[in-house]
Amino acid sequence: MMPSSGRLAYGESHDLFREQVRRLFERELVPHLDRHEREGIVDRAFWKAAGEAGLLCPTVPEAYGGLGLDFSYNAVVDEELAYTGSSAGLSLQSDIVADYIVHYGSEEQKQKLLPGMISGDIIGAIAMTEPGAGSDLRGIRATAQRDGDHYVVNGSKTYITNGQNADFVIVVVKTDAGTGSASTSLVIVEADREGFARGRNLDKIGQHSADTSELFFNEVRIPIGNCLGEEGKGLAYLMTQLPQERLSIAVSAMACTQRAFDEAINFTKDRKAFGKPIFEFQNSRFTLAALAAKIQVGWAHLDWAIARHVAGNLTTAEASAAKLFHSELLGEVADQALQLHGGAGYMNEYMIARLWRDARVTRIYGGTSEIMKEVIARSL
């Protein structure tokens, strides 16, 4: 069961908000999980329902239609979404894309995009990774060259979450031929621009309900006003936003960890072998007891990280450590939980199989575990 009341990061208002989130997901998401997995995408009707319930972009200021809350409310949505077993891209929309617009967008960009993102009418994505550039964003090759009062964008991106659904994409590009940090910028490309094309919805090991795409930019002309923030500040903006992005992944990973553990508890207490529930065997009980201890520590650490982030004190190294710890913990718990299911765990009809598949990417996206260790090491 997802721990909620008594959490150090949350109060009574969070508990009330969580109940609203749970009711919406039980009604509009859970009955459609299998269909979303089959179709490889979460339909826009769910996005609209989430928007109408006030679950999208809760940190956006009230001036743009948001609730003006802090990240802890995003975390509530992230936890409940992950616990359902869904890979819907709400966290990307609320925790990452919206924050870029709020912090670096012009007033015109905010007025144009934020109200629709809150209502679910506009879905956003951010395109960093390229076929030849992943963790090292200085190696990107996509360009946005000035031509009068326009940029001309060329290049390709891959592994882009919300890529099929996106109405606009924040694209990391080179606006200067140099290799320094000042050569990189962020630009907004609307999906209806001539020359913009979506590739295939990528066939992934897990997270099947998340639309993850290749994107192509062929002489796409956008106004200079589509630059997000200042030209040449792209890498600085990306580095500034990393703590929240990595904390967001840690939040979702911890909720998935709890769900995998709960699936193992329920299965071992229900399934019998040699005349008694599997739970009654010492190996099962000791395995689950060891995992329970780690999960207890995990929730305490996560609450510490959320509270520290809300207070504006979470460092990049601390957020990287959270991402590293919780994604690795998820991998361990999901694997052990599947093992306790025996052959049933290898069957896709069991939730643990989906959780196990989906868990693997958390050690890769948002910065691999190896990159997290490097970031942490630099702070020592």
pLDDT digits (tens, 9 = 90+) for 108-156: 999 999 999 999 999 999 999 998 776 777 778 999 999 999 999 999 9
Tell me which of 207, 231, 255 is where a domain ends: 231
Question: 30 pLDDT exceeds 70?
Answer: yes
- pLDDT grade, residue 178 (50/70/90)? low
* Residue-wise pLDDT tens digits, 49-64: 999 999 999 999 999 9
Q: What is the pLDDT of residue 2?
A: 76
CA atoms of 91 and 264, how far apart (whole Å): 26
Q: Count of domains in the chain?
A: 3
State yes or no: is 12 an active-site residue.
no
User: Could you tell me the CATH number of the domain that includes residue 144?
Assistant: 2.40.110.10
Whether 285 is in a domain gets the answer: yes
Are residues 22 and 71 both part of a single domain?
A: yes
> What residues does 273 pair with on adjacent strands?
276
User: Percent of the chain scored above 70 by pLDDT?
Assistant: 99
Are residues 268 and 226 both part of a single domain?
A: no
User: Could you tell me the CATH number of the domain that includes residue 19?
Assistant: 1.10.540.10
Tell me which of 78, 95, 122 is where a domain ends: 122
Whether 2 is in a domain gets the answer: no
Got the DSSP string for 68-114? ---HHHHHHHHHHHHHHT---THHIIIIIIHHHHHHH--HHHHHHHH
Are residues 267 and 364 both part of a single domain?
A: yes
Are residues 366 and 253 both part of a single domain?
A: yes
> What residues does 32 pair with on adjacent strands?
none
Give the residue numbers spanning the domain of 322: 236-378
Confidence (pTM): 0.95
* Residue-wise pLDDT tens digits, 198-245: 999 999 999 999 999 999 999 999 999 999 999 999 999 999 999 999
Whether 56 is in a domain gets the answer: yes
User: Could you tell me the CATH number of the domain that includes residue 310?
Assistant: 1.20.140.10
Are residues 242 and 369 both part of a single domain?
A: yes
* CB-CB neighbours of 370 under 10 Å: 11
Burial readout 231-255 (b: 16 or more C-beta within 10 A, e: otherwise): bbbbbebbeebbbbbbbbbbbbbbb
Whether 6 is in a domain gets the answer: no
Residue type, 90: L
One of 37, 80, 231, 245 is an active-site residue; which one?
245
**Of residues 118, 335, 359, the one with CA closest to residue 252:** 359
Are residues 108 and 146 both part of a single domain?
A: no
If you average pLDDT over every residue of the chain, what do you get? Answer: 95
Are residues 343 and 243 both part of a single domain?
A: yes
